[in-house]
Amino acid sequence: MIFKNPHFSVISGAQVHAAIKGNEEKVIAIVEKAYRLHGDGQTVNPDSYFLRFPDRPSSRIIALPASAGGDVDVHGIKWISSFPENVGRGVPRASAVLILNDTETGYPFACLESSIISAARTAASAALAARELSERRGVVPRRVGFFGVGLIARYIHAFLVGSGLECDEIGVHDLSREHAEGFRGYLGGAGSGEISIHEQPEPLIRNSDLVVFATVAGEPHVTDPTWFEHNPLVLHISLRDLSPEVILSSYNVVDDIEHCLKANTSPHLAEQKAGNRGFVAGTLHDVLAGDIQPPASQPVIFSPFGLGVLDLAVGRYVYDQVAAEDQLIIIPDFFHDLKRYG
């Protein structure tokens, strides 16, 4: 899109939520398209930049610049903070904005509340991986275990259901019994099947065909590969829960090898231990293209680092939805001095 007179819009969280809720299948399709664009070399996705604080080592703010071609056709950057102490305050740990830039002029044309976009693209990626990996393994998960029960877990559940997953049992484990109870209440309200809280992590994992890790862990805390001897599918969304031993004894799929094997993620630690990357079977794009075949006879772990191009794709979808409904909130005179010589 080319603006003769560039304008700038702000899209609120409420508008983002309205565009995404009930449209999980559409968002999953958008994320799949973004993965295919990325695998086909039609994206630019530089390394994320981490702003850290010496006096608050657990907190960070991350910049994810990216560019997507094809039908997405937009550039931009997500600016997302992660302050784990927020959980104790009763609010989500993450908050974010997404800036979209016009392809032709480079002008930013929208700022979107992006914690919902970030959660939705993460959940859509997880649901896409669960669907594709399960189909190719020939194993339909009937028992799902959630390890960590924050906002991301809630969105993943919604997108798993939205993608057509039907399960008989859902297990829940969290360090906070209060949070686990709250998540069980949410699941009950969402019409899920039998729900049980596990005080210890081992029974949760052993009793699940599909395990979702959505914690704020900074280092591995699940270390015994025998917990996975029943060969579950694992959505390792939080990236730092599993020890190198668990990773190295499993079949591993990532979203992007270069991005995922850094910053002391579990796959990065496994690389350091093994001295090579041979334990990574391939990427989700390889799965979509049919280039790799995940087995049913081994634990399969999907570890997505999270690509900025996914945020752009979902953000562009939200922008287009809001614009089509003539609900854009345009900031008058945001770009003021537009004459080159005054």
284/236 same-domain check: yes
Q: Where are the beta strands (DSSP E) in the chain?
A: 9-11, 43-44, 49-53, 56-68, 74-82, 94-101, 108-113, 143-147, 169-173, 194-197, 210-213, 233-236, 251-254, 280-283, 300-303, 329-330
Q: Are residues 172 and 276 in the same domain?
A: yes
Helix (H) or strand (E) holding 162: helix 151-162
Strands 74-82 and 56-68, bridge-based pairing: antiparallel
pLDDT in tens, 247-281: 999 999 999 999 999 989 999 999 999 999 999 99
Tell whether 140 and 283 lie within a shared domain.
Answer: yes
What is the value of pTM for the model shown? 0.93
* Structure token pair of residue 256: 């992007």
Same structural domain, 188 and 323? no
Residue 2, pLDDT above cutoff 50: no
Q: Verify that 320 and 288 share a domain, yes or no.
A: no
CATH assignment of the domain containing 315: 3.30.1780.10
User: Same domain, yes or no, for 288 and 156?
Assistant: yes
Q: Is residue 172 part of a domain?
A: yes
Predicted confidence (pLDDT) per residue in 146-188, tens digit = 999 989 999 999 999 999 988 889 999 999 999 999 999 999 8
- Assess whether 28 and 163 both reside in one domain: no
pLDDT for 307-340, tens place per residue? 999 999 999 999 999 999 999 999 999 998 888 7
The residues, any chain, with a CB within 8 Å of residue 181's CB and separated by 6 or more, are: 197
For the record, the structure tokens of 111 come out as 């700022």
Residue in the block written with tokens 């391939």 = 282
- Percent of the chain clearing pLDDT 70 (strictly above): 98
Give me the amino acid identity at 82. S
* pLDDT greater than 60 at residue 3: no
Residue 71 contacts residue 335 (beta carbons within 8 Å) = no
Verify that 181 and 289 share a domain, yes or no.
Answer: yes
Tell me what pLDDT residue 1 has.
Answer: 45
**CB-hemisphere CA count at 13 Å for 215?**
23
Same domain for 188 and 61: no
Same domain, 143 and 39: no
| Total count of domains within the chain | 2
We report the CATH number of the domain holding residue 166 as 3.40.50.720
Give the domain range for residue 80: 9-117+308-330
Q: How far apart are CA 150 and CA 179, in angstroms?
A: 8
Q: State yes or no: pLDDT of 49 exceeds 70.
A: yes
The pLDDT value recorded for residue 27 is 98
171 and 234 part of one domain: yes
